[in-house]
Every structure is written in C-alpha cells, then in structure tokens.
Structure 1
Amino acid sequence: MKGISSIQNQGGFNQQKHLISRHITAKGRVKQAELLSHASSIRQEIIDITLPVLAKLTEGEILRALIFGDKSQLSEQRWQQLRQTGAGHLVAISGLHLSVVFGLFYGLLILLSRLFVASQHRGYGVGIILIAAGITLGYGYLSGFAVATQRALLMMLLLVIFTVVKQYSNSWDRLLYALCIVLLLDPFAMLSAGFWLSFLALSIILLAVKPERIEAEPNLAHLQDKPQAIFVRVSTTLKRFYHKAVLGIKVLWAIQWRLAIGLGLLQAVLFGTMSPHSIWLNLLFVPWFSVVVIPVAMLSFCLWLAMFVVLRVLTLEPAMINGGGEVLFYLANLSLAPFVWLLSISDHLPLSLVKITEQWIIAIVFLCIALGLLYYRRYSSRYTTWTWYGVAMLLCLPIVLQTYAVSRHELHVGHQPNAAPHWQMHVLDVAQGMAVVLQQGQHGVIYDTGAAYGDFSYAARAIVPFIAAKGVTRIDYIVVSHADNDHVGGLSLLSQTYPNSKIIADFNVKPYAKRPANQTCRGKLWWQGIELQFIDNTLQSDNDNDQSCVMRLDDGKSAVLLTGDIEAPRERALLKADVTLAVEVLLVPHHGSRTSSTPAFIAAVQPQVAIVTAGFANQYGFPKNDVMARYQDRGISTLHTGHQGQISLSFTEKGYKIATYRQQLAPFWYNQLFKFGESLKAE
C-alpha cells in the first residue's frame, strides 16, 4: 500500500480530492488471493437481475443511471453532450428524482385509499406519507446514497417527521438541518463537487420561489343552482387554471435562469467550463423528466421487480423473464428518445461548451456580486443609492480590465527588447515524464508532451486543461526533446489540438503527429522577446537519451536550461562546446538519474534552482538521493514535481518568482493532513 498522490496541476482533474471524498487514502495491488466467500447485497442482486434487460435497450445506460445511480456505462461522447447541455444533473439522482418518486407513490396511494376506503381520517394520511417515504428511501438505497441523494433524503425525512408530529418548519430550516447532518456523518463530503452543486442548487430554488397569494373562491350562495352559478364556477375554474399555468411557467423560468447562472458559475470554478445553452434546454428537459421520464421509469422498474418475483416462483426460463422485462421497460426507453435527440443536436450548436480561464472566472464572480448588490439594494435603506452604485462599479473593474486585455492586440516582438519581458514557465506534473509550458500572454510554447498509454495520455489529462485554464489561445511551437514515450507520448493529441503550431524535433515525428517537423533543434529563434537557443548535438551516439534537444532560454535578465534526458557523455560534449551554459534555472537531466548530473556539468551551469520532473514514488527511484546531494551541497534549491506538483516560475525585469501547486497555488488542507506528495504512507 502507498498513499494516494495523483498529478497536481491547475485546470486538471484533482483525483486526490476525489479519492479522499470517497474515504480512500491509500491504494495498492493484490498480488495473490483466494476467494473464501462471497455475499452480494440486496442492491447488487437487484442490479444483477435488471442489467441484462437494460443492456438490450437503446437507452439502457441512461435508465441504469436513473434507477441505480450507476453512470459507469455512459460513453465519453454522452458525457460531453451532458456537459454541453447542462443536463448532467438529470442522470445524477438528486432532489428532483426523489421528489418525483415521493410524489408519484404518495399520489397513487392517496388515489387507492379514496377508491377502496370509505371513511378517511388522519391515520390514513400519516400511513401513506410513511409508506411513500419508505419507498423513496429504498430508491435512495438503490442509487448508492450519493451526497445529493443524502441531502434530498434528509430533507424529505425531516418534512415527514415534522408533518407527523404536527411541527411547522420552513424549507430553509430543513436545508440547514440536512447540511449539518451530512457534514456530521461525512465531513469529507465537502470535497465532492456534488456537495456544492446540490446545496447551491436548492438554495437558489428556495430564493427563486416565493409564496403567491391565492384568490378566494367567489361566494355563490345567493345564486344557488341558477345557470349563472354554473357559468361563474366554470369561468372561475378556467381562470384559476390559467393563472396557475402562467404562474408555473414563471416559476420554472425564475428557477431555471437563476440555476443556469449560479450553477454555471460554480461549474466554471470547479471544471473551467460553462454551457450557454443550458437555460433553454433545461426548460425542456426538467419538465419532461419530472412528468414523463422519471415516473415511467420507476413504474416500469417496480412492475419489473414484481413480475420477476412471480415468474421466478413459476420457475420460468430466464430468457422469457428478460423478454417480459424488455416489454415493461419499452415505454421508459421510448420516453428518453426526445432527450437523446436534443443531446445529439447539441453537438452542432455554436459555443456548446465554453472554456473559462481563471482570470475570467474571477472577473465574472465579481460581476455577479455587483449585480447581486444592485438587485438587493432595494431591500436595504442603510446606505445611499450612490454608495451601492459606487461599490458595484468597483466590483465591475475586473471584467472591464479583462475584456480590455483580451481585446487589445499584442505586439509580436521579433528582436530582443531593452527590458526583459514578463513571461512564465510552468513545469507540469505529468508523473514519470516531462512537460513544460512557456507562456507570454496568450502565446505559448510546449517543451515535451508527457507519456501516453493506450487511450490515456497526460496531454489530455494535464496539458490541454492547463493551457485552457491559463488562457493560452495560441501555441506557437511544440518542441520534442527525443522519441521516448514519456516525452513524445502526447504529441499526437497536441498536434491535433493546436494544428497551427510548429513542431521542432530532431527525429521523424510523422508516426506521432501525422505531419513532419517544421525545423530541427539547431540555431536560435526569438519568441515574444525571449531568445530560444538550441544547442547543437555534436556527440555521435546511438543512445536515444543523448540525442535530446537541449534548449536555453534567455530574456536578458534570467536564463533557463531545458535538457531532456541527456546523460554524462552529452554533458561532457556540452562542456566542450563553445556555448554559455550558466543559467538561473535548470531542469535536471534525465529525471535525476545517476547517469546524468555530473559534478563538472553542475559546476558549469551554476543554477540557483534545479527542478526534477519525476513521478511520486516512481518505479525507477528517481531522483536518486546522491544525485540530489550534488546540487544541495552547492547550495542549489531543488524542487520535485512528484512532491510539489506543478511548479510555475514568473520572470520579470527584476528576476523570477517560484510558486508550487501544493504550497502556494493550491495549499489545500488535506494535503497537509495526509501529507500527500511527502509520505509513502497516508497518515
């Protein structure tokens, strides 16, 4: 076993936080085992008998998510469609689903009670409420008790309890009780995105829905049974129905646009994306799911369970039982057809999913606060109107400045400026591999692309999300040091994602990029006022590592040396070459292996900071302790992506500043509590 320690970069998926929210603090591998006994839970047994039926339906994976909360079978394309339509909450069992199930069975039981029971009293009502709550609790059990499900169940149970004991409570009280109980039972629930999305969604709904005054029935006693009375009753009924329909549409609209803005902003903070079409699409999706999809799916499922029990008692063949299940789920499958059709249309909508940079997120948050102050100023007379307007204008400054920064044309510098430009170098955490992103405004350069294994690549997991989060819209160059997988693995994806980029490499990149390199690693070029000097390889060697592309960056004030995987022979060749090696920042050669970082090379480079790109507790044991000692004995600061995560350096005319992900960029409390990135054993 070893402590969980996933890669940590801005913009990327934080697997560490996801695992700790599920109470997973370590992971390991079973080398040998013997199955002694096996006992399935009731939930698993129900899932096992239902899945063969759902697997034969065209929309079986969505029904599987709606009934059991199991979203594992949803394809990546389907997830993308759900993200770009803002419909992900519809396949994640939450308050909407539980409310519909509770209302459905409560209504059915009330109807049956009135049909078959002549005398009605409060005991029947209480019993029906308890039965409906029990059925809904069973639905929550089938769904796996996710955070959103816990919140909704707690609020429902509190409502039932208060109803039974005749104790008044408003919705805000129940929401706070649910929040308190969820955090008492599971404090780590706050690390889950579902926790924030769930409670924020209900808070927005409670703020949007306001009690409406109900008109009293007209007094028709004086008309008795005259024809006028019938006409008045009919007209009054139609009028009330019309007003209720209009009111329902207004409430739905009020809830939906607030949810779209509030949850859209939270989605941007959590995932770095927003879906502009979610407002009008959810105006169609939510009523359809509430009235048709969820009730039909749950009734089909209940009938299927009842039929399965009866047919098993009759000892019929499994094929016949499954055939009957397909018939029962036919309407549920058919009800999802309009939903799936709209999801497919979303692939062709403009701006279906907008990526939001960190700067825009901050600016939009301040703008929303300003709009909120202006909206609620009418409820407060403590300050003057001009005070409210003044504060709102100050809060709008970030959005104005960000808009100006994006709209202005950047100067493309072709010669070395008098003063050093402002730029950043981000050494990304891509486990046992290398990936560096140079950033100057909206322009970027990528040096090495991380590893790829089958369908997985660190380019997709870390590099592309990072570039989007930092607001880099143009990748000018992709430099690949050599052809090892941990350096070239992501080139295929990056060359497709940034087709206008120029590839620089000394080997044939067509098998990876489907296009040749634009130039070799020789000579020098100017990029945004920074000199990129490629140091020629004069060493004749078959060692692939020694063929690495060595690049020196110089902005006139500070210099950086990127070395790839060069080893001792190439280091000696560099010492003999007529080039300047002294820099302030060095990327340690070959991930800190003993084949590199010779004392003579370190003495010639004389860096102030040495950065190692290596995975946490990697199988090679990089970086080696004796190699790191060579740097530390000379007073050189050493940083390790496996421990610190992403390492970002900001260069100005005054020098450079360093910020690491775990210590400065995102010093999350659970990193210190569990010593992620520091200890092999989670504490």
Structure 2
Amino acid sequence: MPAASMGLALLAGVLAVQWLPSLPPRWCTLLLLALALLLAWRCPRGRWVGYILIGVAWAMYRGGMAMDARLPRSLEGRDLIVTGTIVDLPLKRGYASSFELRVDRATLDGRLIPWRGRVAVSWYDDPPTLHPCSRWRLQLRLKRPRGLLDPGSADSERTALQRGIVAHGYVRDDVDNAQLGKPSWCVDGVRDAIARGIAARVRDPHDAALLRAFAVGDTRGLQQQDWAVARANGVSHLIAISGFHVGVAAVFGLGLATLLYGLLPRLGHRLPRPQAQATAALLAATIYSALAGFGLPTVRTLLMIAVVTLARCGRRGSTGAQSLGLAMLAILLVDPLAVLAAGFWLSFVGVAFLMLCLQARGRGLRAFLHELSAGQMVMTVGLLPLSLWFFGQASLVGALSNLIAVPLVSFAIVPCALGGTLLLGLCPPAAAPVLWVAAKLAHAQWWLLEQTAAWPGAQWYLPSVQPLALLMALVGALWLFMPRGVPLRWLGALLFLPLLYPALTPPPAGTFRVWVLDVGQGLSVLLRTQHHVLVYDAGARYPSGFDLGEAVVLPAMHALGIGQLDMLMISHGDNDHAGGAETVAMAFPQATRYAGEPSRMRIPMQQCVSGQSWRWDGVDFRVLNPAPGQGDRDNDSSCVLLVEGPRGRLLLAGDISSRVEPQVAAAVGPGPAPLLVVPHHGSKTSSSAAFIAAIHPPLAVVSAGWRNRFGHPKPEVVARYAMARVPLFNTAVQGAIPLEFPVDAPARREPGWRLRRRRYWRE
C-alpha cells in the first residue's frame, strides 16, 4: 500500500476519534486494535480498513493516556510541593512570569504523590529571573486544564491536550521556593542565550523581537498588535519559523557540503558526494528545527528532508507524495494528537496543494518567479477555508503580502539572522553589523506589513464554518488550480459560496436572541434583535495583556455573523465587567456607549440613568438603575437593563447589592416574569430572598469563573434560588448560554456551549 494512502487511512481513523464526546473503555481499544491487525494482515482488499481501525485504536489509546495524566480532581486547589525542570522559554510580562514546568516529583502534606507531567505555571508579584532547563522546588496550587467555551473562541482544553499540559496553576508564596543548582545544558537554553545575544546587539526592541522570532522562534517580545498585523497579512507562519525556513537551512547545509567537496575533491573517494550533501542538508535542517523548538511545520519539513536523505543514501528514488505521506505517517505514529493543532492541517494541506496544483516551468529566474507568485496564490486560496475554520478570519491581502514577505524573510532576513547568530558564538564583534542589516530589513518589511494591514478589508471575518462548507470549499480550491485542459475550472469558485452562509439568521421582528458569554469571573452579554445589536459588559482585561473583549466578545460576534454594534453598555467600572470595553469600542467606534460609572472608564462614555428607554425592532429597552445623581457608587451604580419582547423579558442586573434590589424589583413592573442574569455573580451580598420572590424568574443565569477564588455563586445564594424553585445555570459549567425570546412562545434556554459541542477532552 503506498505511503500516501497509508497516511490518509491512518489520518481518517485518528480524526474520527476527535469527534467522540467520550472515550470507550480500554478493553474496547485493545479489541479494535486486534481486529485492525487481523484485517491488515489477512485481508488484502480490506487492508485500508485495517489501517483506519489502527488509527482509531491508536488515537483512543493516546487520548486516554493523555486524559489519565491530568491532575487528579482530588488535588485541585490544594498546595503541592513539586520539583521539576523549566521547559521551553519562560515569558515575563509586567509583574508576572509564565512558564512550563516538567514535574518529576510532587508531595502533599509531606506524602509522595504518584503524579507527574507538564504543567503551565504563572508566578506573580515580581518573580525571580527564570531560565530554561533550571530545576526548581516550588509550592504550586493547580487545577485541571479548563478553558472558556464560547462561539468562535479558542478551545484551550484541546490545546492543552495536544501540547501535553496536565494542569494549570500558580506559584504560592513560600520560603522554601528555590532553584536547585545551576541550569543544565539544553536546546532551549541555547535558544534563550541566542535571543539574549540578539537583544543586546539590536537597539530597537521591536526589531530585536522580530529577529529573535525569525532566528530561534522566540515570540516572547511580540505584542498582540504584532500578531494582529501578521494575521491581517496572512504571514503568521513566517514569524515563528515556517517549514520553508527549514528548507532554506537544508539548502545552506547542502551548499556547505558542496563547497567542502570543491575545496577537497579527494573526499569523494571516501564518501560519495550525493550522500554527503543529503546528510549535510538533514543535519542543518535538524539543528535549525531544534532552534525553532521543533514546531509542527518544522517537524513536517524535517521529516520530508529525512525521507529524501534516506532515499538518497540508499540510492532509491522518492517522490514528493511519498515523502509527504511518510512524514504524515511518522507524525501520527509518534503523536496522533497532533491532528488537534491547526498547524498540522495548514502544513500538510498547504504542501499537498502545492504538489497537486503547481506545474514545473523549467529552470532559471523566470521559472522561479512564476513558481513563487503562483505558489503564493495557491497557498492563499487553498488555505482560505482552513483559516476560516480554525481562526474565523482570513487575509484578503495575503497573496500580495506573502509574495513580498516570503522571499525577503527566507532569502535575506533569515540568512542574515542565522549568520549573525553563528557569529555570536564564533566572533561576537562581527555579529553586530550582520544583525544590524537583518534588523533594518525586518524593520522595513514590518513597516510595509503595517501599511497593508490597514487597507480596507485586509481582515475578512465570516460566521462559523460548517464541516460540509469546509469540504466543498477545499474541493473548489483544488478545482480552481487544476491543470490546463480541465473544463470549467472557474466553477470551483462557486463551491466557496457555502462559506458565506451565516451560522444564524437574525431573529424576526419582535423577538430577540441573547448569549450570556463565558468570560470566567466576569460578565458579558450579547443581545441581538432583527436589525440591532447590544453588548452589555465586556469581561476583564488582565495585566498580562489578555483581554476578554478581544479573546471572547469580538470572536463571538464574528462567529455568529454579527458585523455591527449599536450600543455598548458597561454596568459599572470594575475590571471584570469593563476591562474589555476599550477593545470592543475600538472595533465598533460608531456604537453608542453608556456606563454606570463613566469616570472609571478608560474611554468616554455617557451616564446611564433610570428612565432611559428606546425601542428596537419591536423590542423595548428600559434602564432601571441608577437613579439620577446616584452614579459613581461602585456596584450599586450598575446600569440595570430590562429588555421586553411580546412573550418574554430579560433583566440584566450588573453587580447590584441587596440595598438597591427592592427599587429594581419595583421598577420591573407588571408583565411576564423576566429571565434573570444573577446580580454580582451570585455573591452573598446580592440575590436576597425578597428580590428572588419579587422577580420570581422562570430561570436564572450566573456568570462566574470555574473554581474562582471568591466562591461565586455562594452556596447560600444557590440555596435561595433552589428554595424559590428557580433553575440556576452557570456559565462556568455550561459555557456560553444562549437564550431565545420568540414572539409566539415563552422564553427558553438553549444548551450551553460546553454541552452542545461535547468532546472527550473537555471537562
């Protein structure tokens, strides 16, 4: 069976497992593996089925092992004393550092715990300098990987599974926290030393950050704005070292071998030149991949080079399809969970498109320029559906940006950066001018990318892509670039049209639709009528730069097909409600803005006052709090908003306390009992029994963080709602919670995002 066919069969089996809501028992995996081996051995015609079943069994086994490795639930929230080694490159931002620690010993209350693994750790309050490969004894408080689940947002639990992260946590203050000896030698230590050497010799911090990313895959110096520019231009693959750069390194190794044989021709009597060239190319590619941290695109290219090297050393031929198929087989056999990473698909699908759609046009500069320009067009169009599937956005200027950036980065900036990196070890004074040239080139290129990123429509957002639409678009892209002679190639563009079909149509007149988003310990509510959209609160923004307005609110709007915002209302000035407001306001500057405490906001906003009202598409909106002249009173100044449709109402109560709940309850007035977004995340100072009795909502939704340090919602508050027979739903358990307010039926709750799209890796 050809390597490409084997790779595709194994991939189909591995991929099927990733859609399971839970993994079967281990004995099912063993039974399936036995059946697969029997089919592959004894049934030639059904061998491909056997390979599919091998992929299923292998993925189930590895997935089960990864889930079993997670922190036991009994240890969540408890202080553990661990000993481990820092892996990868620690990141320091502001007053905190984040790093990954490979735990090899853990104790609880002096008792050894049989648990090991790789944990993601944050160290707050001015931590010491952390180095890769250093060993530490630390007191940690950990929890199992658990992330926010919203429309359009990243699945951090899937990412944790794919990267082998078994717990998240932070360092506790303890006098026994200490480094154990000096850091040992490791590749990450070399990467860190090179990164520090570049930073010391390049004056401009941003230019130095770009060179560090190009040379050793160190992206710690890049800010959110840099990644936004890269995404707008479709060049993110170039920043963190792409597979193409590994190919350039291989060519560099081949050139060195060729030069050596030119200087010492007698070497050919001891070792044939073709084998030596192939080996040198593989060695250079391996070294560069190690400096890049062995990212998935680099590993794919490295494996393809290894296949060609082995074929050359064994004097055998090797086609591109065979090399790609063997590379896929190797990755899936080593780590079947790699299919959970976007890089796996972008890497293999991109190379496959180039192989299928590019035709050789001879040699020389003209042929090279044709292949370069045609290759960028093929990659841009071919990977457009996958970009929309994984990221919800694509770059419309990507082909032009890559046409300029790829040769400049790969043939000028990266060689200069690598040359300067090499000189750092051989002759440090000579490294400065080489790195200066690389920095100037990187600066000029980035200035150009910033200009194109500002072009209208540079970033293209679409609603959530459905699997069938993704498949049709990929077929359409392949059809578009078929060889000349294939009839009606232009019709392939029609297969892209299902991508434009919105995930949700706007609600009819008189109705409205609501999503209580999962923003952890905070609040954000997205409300849509037929022609208008309101965002109530926008989640937090943390000192690390993580902004829930950017990470959750905007992606949710894009995924749901919402391209406008009419009003941004921030209940009050606390960070967990107002932190993401600035990002949302910048994305929609035309939106009207109201806040309960305008003086605490970082952007200009109007004061919301009880008595304000308006009507959108047959839906009425009334502000119930604060009273005129009572703004800037912290939580009790929260904008309280009542939304009324023909058959259902919604009360958004912000963080009001029991002191103002009686006035709010009285202002609600007669009508259907409103669904309630629980005040102050279920704190003990709110949701009084009298308030619950006065409102008596059909259901209540609380927005809180999983295992948050405040204990919200408080057990006594949960008990009050239970006593009143009010169903209580928590975003920490359900994920984002959709609410429907139809015109001809009572309001209802739809399944939460965590329960709607169940996967075995989700808690």
**Same fold (TM > 0.5):** yes
Correspondence for 1:658: 750
Q: What secondary structure does 1:426 align onto? A: strand
Q: 1:631 aligned to 2:631?
A: no
Please show how residues 542-557 of structure 1 align to structure 2 within 5 Å: 544-557=634-647
| Contact 2:463–2:558 (Cα < 8 Å) also in 1 | yes
Determine if the alignment matches structure 1 residue 565 to structure 2 residue 565.
no
2:232 aligned residue: 84
SS at match of 1:603: helix
Match of 2:733 in 1: 643
CA contact (8 A) 1:495 1:513 kept: no
* Offset of residue 430 of structure 1: 1.6
Residues 524 and 537 in structure 2, CA contact (< 8 A), matched pair in contact too: yes
Hey, what's the Cα distance between the residues in 2 that align with 1:146 and 1:523? 54
The 3-state SS of whatever aligns with 1:166 is coil
Equivalent position of 2:694 in the other structure: 604
The answer on whether the counterparts of 1:67 and 1:298 sit within 8 Å (CA) in structure 2 is yes
Does residue 1:7 correspond to 2:144, yes or no? Answer: no
**Distance in 2 between residues matched to 1:46 and 1:578, nearest whole Å:** 65
Report the alpha carbon displacement of residue 249 of structure 1 after superposing the two structures with TM: 3.0
Q: 1:446 aligns with which of 523, 526, 535?
A: 535
Q: Is residue 191 of structure 1 aligned with residue 347 of structure 2?
A: no
Gaps of 5+ in 2: 1-141
Tell whether 2:300 aligns with 1:151.
yes
TM-score by length of 1: 0.80
**SS of corresponding position for 1:141:** helix
Deviations 1:197-252 (A, max 9, x none): 2122211221123456x7xxxxxxxxxxxxxxxxxxxxxxxxxx6xx443333322
Paired residue secondary structure (1:617): coil
For 1:168, the aligned partner's letter is: G
- The equivalent of 2:371 in structure 1 is 251
2:193 paired with 1:46: no
Equivalent residue for 2:525, pick from 436, 442, 445: 436
Label 1:261 to 1:474 Cα distance change in 2 as closer, same or farther (>3 A).
same
Other structure's SS at 1:9 match = coil
Conserved 8 A contact 1:208-1:254: no
Name the structure 2 match of 1:340: 446
CA distance in 1, matches of 2:178, 2:718: 43
Matched, 1:486 2:576: yes
1:352 maps onto 2:500 in alignment: no
Listed as ranges, the matches of 1:502-541 within 5 Å are 502-505=592-595, 507-512=596-601, 514-517=603-606, 519-535=608-624
The offset of 1:70, in angstroms, is 0.9
Instruction: Give the conservation status (yes or no) of the 8 Å contact 2:522–2:539.
Output: yes
Q: Which one of 169, 193, 208 corresponds to residue 60 of structure 1?
A: 208
| 2:248 equivalent to 1:142 | no
Q: Output the amino acid matched with 1:191.
A: L
Question: Secondary structure of 1:452's match?
Answer: coil
1:186-225 alignment runs, 5 A limit: 186-210=335-359
Range that drifts further, 172-181 or 563-572: 563-572
Using the TM superposition, give the Cα deviation of residue 159 of structure 1 relative to its aligned residue in structure 2, in angstroms. Answer: 1.4
Matched residue type, 2:261:
S
In 1: Cα distance, 2:711 partner to 2:602 partner: 31
Q: Tell whether 2:167 aligns with 1:26.
A: yes
Report the counterpart of residue 112 of structure 2 in structure 1: none
* Cα pair distance change 1:134/1:576, threshold 3 Å: closer
Paired position in structure 2 for 1:669: 760
Amino acid aligned to 1:107: G
Where do residues 253-332 of structure 1 align in structure 2 (5 Å cutoff)?
Answer: 253-307=373-427, 321=428, 323-332=429-438
Residue 609 of structure 1 contacts residue 636 of structure 1 at CA under 8 Å; is this kept in 2? yes
**Stretch moving more, 296-305 or 176-185:** 296-305
Distance in 2 separating the partners of 1:82 and 1:160: 34
Question: Structure 1 residues 168 and 30, CA, compared in 2 at 3 Å: closer, same or farther?
Answer: same
Change in Cα spacing, 1:527 to 1:175, as seen in structure 2 (3 Å) is: same
CA drift at 1:156: 1.1
Say if 1:400 and 1:340 are closer, same or farther in 2 by CA, change over 3 A.
closer
SS in 2 for 1:611: strand
Q: CA deviation at 1:564?
A: 1.9
CA contact (8 A) 1:155 1:174 kept: yes
Instruction: State yes or no: 1:462 paired with 2:569.
Output: no
User: Among the aligned pairs, what percent are the same residue?
Assistant: 28
Q: Residue 264 of structure 2 corresponds to which residue in structure 1?
A: 116
Return the letter of the residue paired with 2:623: F
Structure 1's unaligned 5+ residue stretches are: 215-240, 308-320, 412-418, 676-683
Cα distance, 1:584–1:334 mapped onto 2, change above 3 Å? closer
Superposed displacement of residue 141, structure 1: 1.5
Contact 2:610–2:624 under 8 Å retained in 1: yes
The amino acid of 1:162's aligned partner reads A
By how many angstroms is 1:670 displaced? 1.3
- 1:482–1:548: 8 Å Cα contact kept in structure 2? yes
TM-score scaled by length of structure 2: 0.72
Deviations 1:426-466 (CA, angstroms, capped at 9, x unpaired): 11112111111101255211222323344544223322332
Mapped partners of 2:260, 2:410: distance in 1 = 22
C-alpha separation in 1, matches of 2:155 and 2:315: 46
Q: Which amino acid aligns with 2:445?
A: F
Q: Return the offset for 1:147.
A: 1.2
What amino acid is aligned across from residue 655 of structure 2 in structure 1?
A: D
Q: For the Cα contact (< 8 Å) 1:443–1:473, is it kept in 2?
A: no
Which region of structure 1 is more displaced relative to structure 2, 442-451 or 363-372?
Answer: 363-372
Distance 1:347 1:374 in 2: 27
Shift of 1:145: 0.8
Task: State the Cα deviation string for residues 360-389 of structure 1 (Å, max 9, x = none).
Answer: 998687456456557769999xxxx99x99
Whole-Å separation in 1 of the counterparts to 2:477 and 2:668: 61
Aligned residue for 1:69?
217
Question: Of 259, 267, 274, which residue of structure 2 is paired with 1:125?
Answer: 274
Partner secondary structure for residue 449 of structure 1: coil
Alpha-carbon distance between aligned partners in 1 of 2:191 and 2:501, rounded to the nearest angstrom: 54
Distance, in Å, in 2 between the alignment partners of 1:298 and 1:574 is 65
C-alpha distance in 1 between matches for 2:143 and 2:410: 45
Kept after mapping to 2: 8 A contact 1:53/1:326 = no
Structure 1 residues 362, 355: closer, same or farther in 2, change over 3 A? farther
1:339-379 deviation line (CA, Å, top 9, x unaligned): 23422432443333233333799868745645655776999
Is the Cα–Cα contact under 8 Å of residues 525 and 535 in structure 2 kept in the other structure? yes
1:423 to 489, 493, 512: 512
- The answer to whether the aligner puts 1:178 opposite 2:298 as a matched pair is no
Asked whether the equivalents of residues 195 and 216 of structure 2 are also in contact (C-alpha less than 8 Å), the reply is no
Max Rg structure: 1
Question: Which amino acid in structure 1 is aligned with residue 433 of structure 2?
Answer: V
Tell me how far apart the structure 2 counterparts of residues 379 and 669 of structure 1 sit (CA, whole Å). 46
User: Is the partner of 1:28 in helix, strand or coil?
Assistant: strand
Checking the alignment, whether the CA contact within 8 Å between 1:450 and 1:486 is kept in structure 2 is: yes
Shift of 1:498: 2.9
Structure with the larger RCO, 1 or 2 (CA within 8 Å, 6+ apart): 1
What secondary structure is seen at the aligned counterpart in 1 of 2:283? helix
Deviations 1:239-285 (A, max 9, x none): xx6xx443333322332111011223322222222221221222222
Q: Distance in 2 between matches of 1:171 and 1:493?
A: 45
| SS of residue paired to 2:178 | coil
Kept in 2, the 8 Å contact 1:451–1:488? The answer is yes
Distance 2:623 2:323 in 1: 65
CA distance in 2, matches of 1:106, 1:565: 65
Structure 1 residue 510, shift from structure 2 partner = 4.2
